[in-house]
Amino acid sequence: MDQFKSKIVRKLPDLLTNDWKNIFLSELGESYFHSIQDNLSNIMQNEEVYPSQEAIFQAFNLCSFADVQVVIIGQDPYHGKGQAHGLCFSVPSGIALPPSLRNIKKELQMDFDVFLTNQDGDLSQWAKQGVLMLNSILTVSDSKPGSHADLGWQKLTSLAIEKISQEKEHVVFLLWGSYAQKLAKNVDPQKHLLLCSSHPSPLSANRGGWFGNKVFSKTNDYLEAHQKKAINWL
């Protein structure tokens, strides 16, 4: 375990770099947030944690609150080495596509009737266009899916969803599977578009409800209808 002992655990608020820091200002002083910090620090002394500290808030740092046009909600980061980089469903360039991401790429091809020459799994370009790619749980231990479900991250990420619902208009929420749909249950459907489908994981996708759902083109149609810029998903 000595390989973990030398890790310097940075203060979580220092990892936020844009207007989300002000959005979360009241939360950063709450006891549950200090608990996340302390528990995460303890875990990191004994286990490999993903994503890297610098990428824990990558979804927020690449997509400011002011720029949010679309929200995609995942559960927790990929738990394999090198896969997680702070954006739900996305992996760094050069990493093999996980099964759910392969199905996302397949649906993109079907939706826009194109052949994707770009099979890179890094979806950072989406985030930079205003797509908040948010896992409800922001960290995970190596090879232990769901291992940080009790740290308290959901309070912070639920607040982010609530703020978007309350303070913005005409945001598209892409809710893939029952987990995401429950997290967005309080989003105002009069102000925003909620596109619900099955999850892109092979088990769910092959049961129907994922392939052919056209969520990407539907998102762009809605954004353009409300004088917003369409997302370049390809």
Active site residues: 76
* Lookup: tokens for 69: 């046009």
Cα distances (angstroms) measured from residue 124 to each of 38, 56, 73, 154: 29, 14, 15, 22
CB 223 within 8 A of CB 170: yes
Cα Dmax for the chain: 56
CB 96 within 8 A of CB 33: no
The number of beta carbons lying within 10 Å of the beta carbon of residue 161 is 21
Beta-carbon contacts of 226 under 8 Å, excluding residues fewer than 6 positions away, are: 169, 170
